[in-house]
Structure 1
Amino acid sequence: MRHDIKPNERAYSTKEVAEELDIATPTVRKYGQILERSGYEFFKNGSRRVFVQSDVEALQAIRDTDKPLEEISQELVEQQQERLATSETTEIAGSDTYDTSLNDPQQMRELLMFISKELAASREMNTQLANDMAEMKTTMSRLRQDHHVISSGIGNSTQKMTTKMEKLIDQQKSHYEEMLEEEREKSEHLRKEMEQMRDEHRKEWRLQSDFNQRLEQTVNKPKSGFEKFLDLFRK
């Protein structure tokens, strides 16, 4: 299992990697699939890949190489395995990266920013899917009207063709509905994850605040008569 993320290391989405390397988003996905087929490991947020700097450098190596893709991907996998093996021998026992990020405001902000971007992308996808569904319904309505007009003056061959068209449209509609439901579930999962992290962060602040109050009360606690007597000799 991969464990080489560094404290405060930036996480990139697929879109951000595409902008960083000046390549298309589908190309980033293609390179990622090629690497995974060779045994490369990515961090995952559900089914989405989350890239760190070493991953960006690996994708850049694929972009800039003249070697066959399978050959360069195998070399990158071997480099990652060596890096992970070295990391295992030098790692110091302690809290995992996830827990550390909760105590590090900068890491928390970056993580929340990444999740917010993912939520925004999911909302944009939901809106696009809803628009596609509305357009599909309009198209279906027009096709049915055209079918009614055509069916009155044509034979069985046209009837069969129209039936195939309606079946294809229904399949596309079902596919869009499944995609829309999947994106909604992912959006809900990310929202719950972000709320949970915020609650844990608030809990950490409350514990720290309670400790500070107890410390202040201890410092300001009135002195006993014996302590006042000792103060006379200290002056």
Structure 2
Amino acid sequence: MKNIVQISLLSATIAAVALGSGNVLSEEADTVVISFDHPQSISVSAPQNTAETASGVGNGVTTLWTITSNNAVGIQFSGKSASLTTANAVDYPVFYKAEVDATGAVIANRYDHLVTSFGVDISGYDSFAGTSDKWQGGNVPTGTPANLVVARAKTGSPGNHFNSIMPSDAGVFDLTLTSQGVGDASTTQSGDYLITVTATVTAEEQGDNTLDAATL
């Protein structure tokens, strides 16, 4: 025997209620605000260096990073170099090379340094919350190696100088580091000097709790 399911349809009738000279219908409305969290993204291009220059010639070597993000970011630099007399690293980047003897052999634990200075500038941004778009002269560098790597939150650091940086509407801005090294022609051994610098870009999202749909 087949099971039979009966479905009853109940028709609803809205009755008009007479009130004075007109009819009033019952009506209800409810408004809800729906939000969607669109996450922040960050990408950094491979650094582009200008051609190698001789010590003390021109304003130095520039390194350019193009940073892409859909909200504000902060920057921080770090780097290390060998000390003058040991292989132990110092926590800031100074142009250095190992000294060699008359045969070209490396002399253990002896390094030469160039007098090193840095400048940083930003361009192509929408806005920034800091002091100016050049730190320590920008492309005419006057900053010390120790100041370059000062923590983001501390006065004197590039990150604190620029504070939060908002990219352009296209989501990009350029970060340029200018590095200069100068040696004494008599006492600083000739050769190729190097440093390694790391630029760290951190999300500093602005307006993440701002909802203004009610004013539309």
What TM-score comes out, normalization by structure 1 length? 0.18
Question: Which structure carries more helix by proportion?
Answer: 1
What TM-score comes out, normalization by structure 2 length? 0.20
Question: Which has the higher relative contact order, 1 or 2, with Cα contacts under 8 A spaced 6 or more apart?
Answer: 2
Question: Which structure carries more strand by proportion?
Answer: 2
